[in-house]
Amino acid sequence: MKNRTMVIYALLAGCVLTGVSSCEKEEVRHYELLPEQEEPEMDITSSGTISVNFENSGGAGGNEGSLKLVDNDYNSKFLINPYRDNLYLQLSFPGTIAVSAYIVASANDAQDRDPKNWELVGSNDLENWTVLDKKEDFMFTSRFEKVRFDVENTTQYRYYRLNITAIRGGTGLFQMAEWRLIYDPNRNTD
């Protein structure tokens, strides 16, 4: 906005400084200023490296391994058996970035396997974690449901974790189709 305002002042000042009388005689024209373009938000998931503290028996690259969490395919899923209440999913980035939203998606079957309670946390040293968002008793309403959660975060972190502290059925298997992290370059960062 500053640049556009300066251009208008420069045009007006040009008439005054040069003493051009035609500036006063011309009809005043009104120009509509275009709003400044905002940069689009970005899904940064593919820039990170996924890890989990409990892996599928087939391994990370298996048919239902942890790599399915971030493959941008909502028809695939990560599954572990049995679920443990200290399960976490972690995305590590080469540098720091401020996440402004995240998406979680339910998988194809057995709603009792869905995450119900979780925390999104951020860290720069893998020891000190800041809670960015917390959900309790969240219930997906359908299979393959994608849900976005915006977070009020401007702090840049290198590591993000989704701590899954409970599943809908309480015990048994855990499944999730996708976990995505979103960055909004238009937000101010610390």
| pLDDT score at 35 | 62
The phi, psi pair for 180, rounded to 5°, reads -125, 145
Q: Extract the tokens encoding 3.
A: 């640049």
Model confidence at 150: pLDDT above 60: yes
**pLDDT per residue as tens digits for the range 160-176:** 999 999 999 999 999 99
SS3 8: helix
Q: What is the residue-averaged pLDDT of the chain?
A: 86
- Using a pLDDT cut of 70, give the percent of the chain over it: 79
Whole-model pTM: value is 0.79
> For position 105, what pLDDT does the model report?
98
- Residue 39's pLDDT band, with cuts at 50, 70 and 90, is confident
* Topology of the domain covering 42-183: Jelly Rolls (2.60.120)
64-69 — which CB contacts under 8 Å span 24+ positions?
64/175, 68/177, 69/176, 69/178, 69/179
Distances 16 to 11, 12, 23, 26 between C-alpha atoms, Å: 9, 7, 8, 13
The pLDDT value given to residue 158? 98
| pLDDT band at 37; cut points 50, 70, 90 | low
Work out the pLDDT band at 22, boundaries 50, 70, 90: very low
Would you list the domain boundaries of the chain? 42-183
